[in-house]
Each structure stands twice: as structure tokens, then as C-alpha cells.
Amino acid sequence: MTNAETSTDTPHIVICTTGGTITASTTPEGAVLAGDSDPATHAMLDGLRAVLPEEIRVSARTVLDADSSTFGPAEWDLLVDAVADVLSDPGVSGVVVTHGTDTLEETAIALDLHHDDPRPVAITGAQLPADHPEADGPANLLDAVLLAADPVSGGLGVLVVLGRAILQARGVRKWHTTDPVAFARNSPEHPVEDLPPELERPTLPARARFADTRVDVVACPPGADAVALLACVEAGARGLVLEGSGSGNLPPLVADAVARLADDRPDLVVVASTRVPRGEASSTYGGRGGGAELATRGVLSCGYLRSGQARVLLAALLSTADAANGAGGDNGDGGDGGDGAAAEVRRRWARYHLYS
């Protein structure tokens, strides 16, 4: 698609499209297919222009065209680069990213960690395909464009817009598979304005490269052993997000393996998450596998993030720490007292992590 001509006296919003349910179609058998959605995208944009206020101009850029369940670190890199490229044009007033809902929470935090521009970036999608008689995509897209065109939205970072809800990116997660209000934000009870400024929404000091940094999420249900965890380490993981129970407690056999890794692999960064959907994961409980005991081994808590966004943040911090310490990852001295990438991530986690 060709970008529309910009105007200096009207808001110009660039829509970066990536496929997803918002432009998906339904087969005669009832399966929803995302990808190869050019006709649906054109129809979506024509419908948008028909209802937008005349003073708002929109143009579009195709970045990806697929179901977002296929997205991963390489796609996060591509989208971060695409949004940065769009915002390099001073004539652009804001950006909207259309995205499948399956992995929207990961893309949202990947973008937000890099977004230090005051211009709004909104990310939206749909729960129903474009050819559904009650498709929610057109209304979500309109809301996202209006939000991105409103100067009041500036400085808030990446905003998730779906089902009339507007949520900041960090702490957001998909909470329902089919409800139009697909996302909720896990956050503390006290308001964001009460938080110290340095913990609100810091951005990275440099560009992270997600595809170059392997971080794995490992489910650790009650009674789990360390087989899956050790397989990820063997496969080359630089970081692990372990999804435990309660406030981030791990089964005993997993905790024993983490203790051994703390001695043998100080270059490996481990974060404790939880399967509980809401509330804070913290280093609270003592004993074998308790969060307080894990913290003595250098294990970090995910706080109000959940495993998907914690994975993105950990990969970003490892990547930028690698760059600061020289290519090739940790410099070998490891440990909390060293200058390696892993030690740097442990030092920086509290600053870049949401509500640490």
C-alpha cells in the first residue's frame, strides 16, 4: 500500500497492519483464517475513512500478514523497527498497529520498552473476523485512530485499545478468549501516579534485538521436576521465566535445580512468575521453593507482569546488557558481583520492571 500524503495542519495517523482476526475471513467449514488479507485490509480502511472526522488523515503500511500466534522474537524486532521508522517522519502524529490478540501483550511491551517518543502509539485488534456480521474490528480501529490523533494521549506510551477499553501496555494480558473486552491490566491497587517516577515507564537505553536472545517460559505445576527447565538450558536459553504457583513459589525439585544452576551457571537469569492471573508475584515465602529462598539464589520476581511480558522484558534487558558488555553475551565472570550481562540484568531489573 502507498502512504497517503501527509498534512502539516491535520493529524496524520499511520496504521501498521500485521494481519490477525481484524482482517481474517471464515472458510465454509467455519475456520477463521488470518493472512492473505489485502482485500479485507482495503475494505477496513475504506470503512474507517468513511466515518473518520475529515481533519484526521490516515495511511497504511503492511508490516506483517499472519495469525499472531505465529509471531515471536523476530516479529517483535520487525515491529519495533517499523514503528520507529514511521515515527522518524515528523509529519506523523501517531501510530496504530493492528494485531492479532493471541500475542498482542508481548508485542505491546516490546514496543513500549522502546517508545520514548511523546506521540501516541495504539495497538488494537478484534475478537471476531472481518466477515462476521457483528465484527468488532471496525469499532476498535476507529477508537484506536481517534486515540492516536488526540494530543491528550501523548506521553502515555503504547496503549492497548479493544472493546472500548484503553490500557497501558505494561501489565496487560489477554484475559478472555472470546469476550470483546479481551484484555485486562494487572496492576497494584494504588494509582500509577503514586509510584516513584523512575518506576512508572522507563524505556531502554538502547535497541534490543529479541531474535538474538533466547528466553524460555517453563510451566512448573505442583509436583513438577526439572526436566523441562534443564532442556531449555541445554538448548541455549540465556534466561528462564518459571511459572510457579501462588506468589511465585516453585516445586521442590525445580527449586533444587535452580539452586544448582545459581552455582554452576551465574550467566543464566531466572525469573519466578505465577499461574495466578491477578496480583503481585513477590519474594514472600521461605522454605524450599519459596520466593524468599529463591531470591537468595538471585531469582527475580515478575511482580505484576505475567510470564509472556516477563519473557519479553528479560530478553530485552539481556540483549541491551550484551551490547553494553560487548558482543557474545556474559563476559564470563558472572555472578551478582561481576560486570557480565547477567549481573547487569539483575541490577537493572528493579528499574525496568513494572512496580518492582
Give the 3-state secondary structure of residue 253: helix
Q: Which structural domain range is residue 138 located in?
A: 12-185
Instruction: Tell me if 190 is assigned to some domain.
Output: no
Q: Which of 126-140, 189-203, 258-272, 292-306 has the lowest mean pLDDT?
A: 189-203
Residues 159 and 239 in one domain: no
What was the pLDDT predicted at 209?
97
- Please list, residue by residue across 103-139, b when 16 or more beta carbons sit within 10 angstroms of its beta carbon and e when fewer do: bbbbbbbbbbbbbebebbbbbbbbbbbbebeebbbbb
Extract the C-alpha cell encoding 108.
505491546
Residues in the chain: 356
Give the CATH number of the domain where residue 105 resides: 3.40.50.1170
Extract the C-alpha cell encoding 4.
497517503
- Amino acid identity of residue 166, one-letter, is I
235 pLDDT exceeds 70?
yes
Residues 155 and 274 in one domain: no
Q: For 154, how many CA atoms within 13 A lie in the half-sphere containing its CB?
A: 11
Q: pLDDT for 38-74, tens place per residue?
A: 889 999 999 999 999 999 999 999 999 999 999 999 9
Residues 168 and 283 in one domain: no
Q: Answer for the pair 353, 201: CB distance below 8 angstroms, yes or no.
A: no
What was the pLDDT predicted at 325?
80
Other beta carbons less than 10 A from residue 61's beta carbon: 17
Q: pLDDT for 287-330, tens place per residue?
A: 898 888 999 999 999 999 999 999 999 999 999 999 888 755 44
Residues 277 and 154 in one domain: no
**Known active-site residue 21:** yes
What was the pLDDT predicted at 35?
78
Residues 92 and 171 in one domain: yes
Cα R_g (the chain), whole angstroms: 21
Distance CA 347, CA 144 (A): 36
Instruction: Tell me if 119 is assigned to some domain.
Output: yes
Query: What is the count of structural domains for the chain?
Result: 2
Extract the C-alpha cell encoding 8.
502539516
Catalytic residue, candidates 10, 17, 18, 21: 21
Band the pLDDT of 117: cuts 50, 70, 90: very high
Q: pLDDT for 203-221, tens place per residue?
A: 999 999 999 999 999 999 9
